[in-house]
Amino acid sequence: MTVARTRIAVYPGTFDPITNGHVDLIDRAAPLFERLIIGIAESPGKGPTLPLELRVQLARQAVAHHPHVEVRGFNSLLAHFVQEVGGGVLLRGLRAVSDFEYEFQLASMNRHLIPEVETLFLTPAEQYGFISSSLVREISRLGGDVSGFVPLAVAVALQEQWQLKAAG
C-alpha cells in the first residue's frame, strides 16, 4: 500500500438516513486523513426510504463543516468504488459486539477483493451507540420525534417523505 492511498479513507454505507452517530464517526475520523470520502450506496435491494440524491444532499449538509470530507453516491461494487476514488482505508463503524461478526465478514471479503486497502473500525461516542438508521426510520414513520438522533434537515426530510408516501 502506498503512503498516498492511506491518506484517503472511504466511509461507505446506505446512510438511510445519516444519523448523529454517523456524523460523530466522521467528526472523529476526518482529522486522521487528508481526504475522507463518504460513499453513499444506492442499494436498491435494501429498498431505501430516501432516494440516493436526497441521502447525498443530507449527508453533504451534515458534514459541510469539514472542508476535506467529500460525499459521493455510488451504485457499483464497493471495491470498485474504493479503487475509483483511490482509497487506501475503509472506515467502518461498530456500535456493539453484535455488529462485529457481520463487519468482520465484510472486511475479510474486501481484503480478498482489494488487498491493498485496510479496514479501520471506529466505535461511536457512548451517547450514539444505540442509534441506527433503521430505528430512526421506524420511529419517524410512526410519527415519533427523531430530532435528537439525526441532523435537523434529516428529521424534516423524513417527515416529508412519509407525507409523500401517505398522499401517494
Which of the residues 28, 46, 65, 68 is marked catalytic? Answer: 46
For residue 22, CA distances in Å to 1, 97, 157 come to 27, 17, 17
Q: Residue 10's closest CA among 106, 93, 85, 60?
A: 85
Which of the residues 7, 35, 66, 95 is marked catalytic? Answer: 95
Is 33 among the annotated ligand-binding positions?
no
Is 6 among the annotated ligand-binding positions?
no
Q: Could you confirm whether 35 is annotated as catalytic?
A: no
Q: Could you confirm whether 22 is annotated as catalytic?
A: yes
Q: Could you confirm whether 98 is annotated as catalytic?
A: no
CA distance 60 to 165: 24
Q: Could you confirm whether 46 is annotated as catalytic?
A: yes
Is 94 among the annotated ligand-binding positions?
yes
Is 101 among the annotated ligand-binding positions?
no
Is 134 among the annotated ligand-binding positions?
yes
Which of the residues 55, 133, 137, 140 is marked catalytic? Answer: 133
Which of the residues 22, 55, 137, 140 is marked catalytic? Answer: 22
Is 92 among the annotated ligand-binding positions?
yes
Is 22 among the annotated ligand-binding positions?
yes
Q: Residue 72's closest CA among 134, 7, 10, 155?
A: 10
Is 132 among the annotated ligand-binding positions?
yes
Q: Partners of 12 in the beta sheet?
A: 39
For residue 98, CA distances in Å to 22, 26, 111, 124, 150 come to 18, 21, 21, 14, 22
What positions carry a catalytic annotation? 22, 46, 95, 133
Binding-site residues for substrate: 14, 46, 78, 92
Binding-site residues: 14-15, 22, 46, 78, 92-95, 103, 128-134
